[in-house]
Amino acid sequence: MRATFHLKTLAVAVAALSVASVASAAGLDRSGQDITAFLQDGTYAETVYTYLDADVSGYDNDYVGKDKNAYQQGNKIDDIAESYDFFRYGVKADINDTFSVGVLYDEPFGAAADYSGDNNFVAQGDRDAVIKNVTGNPAYSEAVIDNVVIPTLQAQLAPGNPKNLTDEQLKEARANYLGVLTAKKAADAEEFTKGEGTNVEVRTENITAILGMKFGENKNFQVYGGPVAQQVQADVKLRGLAYSAATGYTAHISSDQDYGWLAGVSYSKPEIALKAALTYRSEIDHSSNIDETYPVVAALGGEANQGNKLDITTPKSVNFDFQTGINPTTLATAKVRWVPWSDFAIVPPLYNEVSKRATDDDKGLPLVSYDDDQWQVELGLAKRLTPALALSGNIGWDSGAGNPVTSLGPIEGYYSVGLGGKYDITENWAVSAGGKYLWFGDAEGQIPTGDIVSDFESNDGFVLGVKVSYQAQ
């Protein structure tokens, strides 16, 4: 006689955090954009709370010179990863045996990093150190620039070309003059922001409405889709020698809401507790107000404080969710997620405009970008021990989004292991809880120019989660 698996007793949430990602483990991914609440049978609702605490520490780069890839271990960088938490909500109901509706809330993307201490990511107020760093010349100091370099360049650039320089020599003299003025302005910013550390905070919120339609002889198939409303805001401060002439740069990206969409297809076979779903989420284009402060702009003859519009496109994604019964009390789960972070960039107008002059490139530089796409895989097993209690375990891998990676999130993916449990309080109400331990991949931090500015190794973190759910069939 063939065993019949009872989906209601086997459907064990992997402790509320099975798809919890890590800020900057790959790009800005956080929640994993889980939609499994909508795939539950009958009327279903859940509230999920996730807390993450990571230790991301390393060393800055003590090298001064022109080689972008050169690294010499410098000062210790204490933990830069701020602990963070977020909620996820979901509710779903069947209109009839064909149509279902649902509403989901999550916080899909974000970042939270804060540098402190005695390192190159904190403004130390050392003017000469900034001048050496910006010019790339260890022999330069403010006194040398004021008493030797600037008078020499002014003589070379005097009206009438008294030194009889060639056009190429005049061009080089102008570039050098602008360079030392920029270095002095960066030194001013270092002194003015003394004691402040580099800081970044990015937050997003999603609300997704979903309509699903089941079809097939036994209603095993379902297509679903709906609109997504997304809100995004961010704050960035760049401080210290690591950012060279960009030290003192500050940006506030005001909250903006825009819209995208979701679409997917699922298949279920209740007699063996099988469910499979493939979900696509679209890109979402934002046009936010941004206020930028860039001290060195004054040396270029521009306005150091500017307000503009910033276009940001949050990335599309594809999620695959799968579960199947192994025996009447055991469930196997698998999740795969892909996000093309290599297509993502944050390009503030003022920052980009200054970078065009620095690089002599019409395209300029983004403030944040990534080289690789993210792949995330998680495999799990859940075992029902009693009619009311089930335990689960999972292992996971995240590819990261490249190495070197932005200094605002210096992690190259992670490996993880998790344990959790679910307890049915009543026939309809359940609570799930669990934890996950993460081993972060080593990464070198770089600034937009490609210069290596830090090295982060042997870091880890943990995730804790709790979920309260209601289900009625």
What pLDDT is attached to residue 355?
87
Give the HSE-up count for residue 389: Cα atoms under 13 Å, Cβ half-sphere. Answer: 2
Nearest alpha carbon to residue 347 among 313, 297, 390: 313
* Helix or strand run (H / E) with residue 188: helix 167-192
Residue 289: Cβ within 10 Å count: 13
What pLDDT is attached to residue 403?
87
SS3 of 361, please? Answer: coil
Phi-psi region of 103 (alpha: psi -120 to 50; beta: other; left: phi over 0): beta
Specify whether the CB–CB gap between 350 and 303 falls below 8 A: no
287 contact partners, CB below 8 Å, separation of at least 6: 256, 258, 309, 310, 311
392 contact partners, CB below 8 Å, separation of at least 6: 12, 13, 14, 15, 18, 380, 381, 382, 383, 418, 419, 420, 421, 422, 434
Tokens (6 digits) for 66: 């022109």
Nearest alpha carbon to residue 314 among 362, 253, 266: 253
- The one-letter amino acid code at 12 reads V
What pLDDT is attached to residue 473?
78
**Dihedrals phi, psi of 148, to nearest 5 degrees:** -125, -55
pTM value? 0.90
Nearest alpha carbon to residue 27 among 196, 198, 204, 239: 204
DSSP conformation letters of 385-453: -SSSEEEEEEEEEE--S-SSEETTS----EEEEEEEEEEESSSSEEEEEEEEEEEEPPEEEE-TT--EE
pLDDT digits (tens), the chain, 473 positions:
344 544 444 444 333 334 343 434 577 888 889 999 999 989 999 999 988 888 999 999 988 777 888 899 999 999 998 888 888 999 999 999 999 999 999 999 988 889 999 999 999 999 999 999 888 888 899 999 999 999 998 888 888 888 888 889 888 888 888 889 999 999 999 999 999 999 999 999 999 999 999 999 899 999 999 999 999 999 999 999 999 899 999 999 999 999 999 999 999 998 888 999 999 999 999 999 999 999 999 888 888 899 999 999 999 999 999 999 998 889 999 999 999 999 999 999 999 998 887 777 788 889 998 889 999 999 999 888 888 888 989 999 999 888 888 888 888 889 999 998 889 999 899 999 888 999 999 999 988 888 899 999 999 999 888 999 999 97
What pLDDT is attached to residue 25?
58
Tokens (6 digits) for 133: 């760093």
Specify whether the CB–CB gap between 404 and 434 falls below 8 A: no
Specify whether the CB–CB gap between 345 and 314 falls below 8 A: no
Tokens (6 digits) for 399: 């590819």
Mapping DSSP onto H, E and C, the string for 307-331 reads EEEEEEEECCEEEEEEEEEEECCEE
pLDDT in tens, 411-438: 888 999 999 888 999 989 999 988 899 9
Tokens (6 digits) for 144: 């040398």
> Rounded to an integer, what distance in angstroms lies between the CA atom of residue 298 and that of residue 165?
28
> Rounded to an integer, what distance in angstroms lies between the CA atom of residue 389 and that of residue 423?
5
- CA 202: distance to chain centroid? 8
Distances (CA, A) of 324 to 15, 26, 183, 267, 274: 17, 28, 62, 11, 4
Please give the DSSP secondary-structure letter assigned to residue 244: G
Distances (CA, A) of 111 to 232, 414, 461: 12, 16, 15
Distances (CA, A) of 349 to 255, 291, 352, 355, 406: 17, 10, 5, 10, 19
> Rounded to an integer, what distance in angstroms lies between the CA atom of residue 76 and that of residue 21?
27
> Rounded to an integer, what distance in angstroms lies between the CA atom of residue 53 and that of residue 283?
29
